[in-house]
Amino acid sequence: MPAADSRRRILLTGFDPFDQDAVNPSWEVARALDGEAIGDGAVVQALRLPCVFGEAAARLDEALAQAPAPALVVALGLAGGRAEISPERVAINVDDARIPDNAGGQPVDAAVVEGGPAAYFSTLPIKAIVRALREHGVPAAVSNTAGTFVCNHLFYALMHRLATRPALTGTRGGFVHLPALPAQSAQRPGLPSMALATQVEGVRLLLRTALDVQGSDLRESGGALH
């Protein structure tokens, strides 16, 4: 992974495959956009993370410490069963793993950050992102739960760092879940999927929207009954 240059940096992370999958769309999308200029010339820096509690956050720390500080950090993950690109609204301070991570770890009812707040909200314009994706024909929806596995762990760790480290005061960030790829659906009939090219275009548009929308997010419904 090459270091970012002096232009504005967008840190875009994706995970290793997990739970017997041979591929993870989050990394496939991130690496497809690596080095690409977005909007006014901000450059994407892709980072592959292990699907491991603790280690994923440590690798994130290394990338956040590089200069210049990123203007934007977007972490991507797989949400098997979802049919839409899903910007997450909130990260919660709990690790509660239904399955082991890639190192065999399976924390239960553990804090992501001891003594940290119960939750953090994304600082991405999640509703503007959803509208932009839908207007361009990409299925998208706000999600109100990032789960309690490594995705939420990383999301909370990211937002805690953005909230508490002075060097990252101007950095915005959040987490986005992606659907499975068609190859994964072929192995699990009935599993919703989205083509890689559509996911790449959707995340490209997501990043551009996040850079463009500097003020308040849209005020329109993105809630759920359950």
Residues forming the active site: 88, 151, 177
C-beta separation of 127 from 88 below 8 A: no
C-beta separation of 195 from 182 below 8 A: yes
Sign of the dihedral defined by the CA atoms of residues 115, 148, 106, 84, in that order: negative
- The H or E element spanning position 212 is helix 196-212
How far apart are alpha carbons 9 and 43 in whole angstroms? Answer: 5
How far apart are alpha carbons 63 and 20 in whole angstroms? Answer: 27
C-beta separation of 201 from 138 below 8 A: yes
How far apart are alpha carbons 31 and 14 in whole angstroms? Answer: 8
**Helix (H/G/I), strand (E/B), else coil: 64:** helix
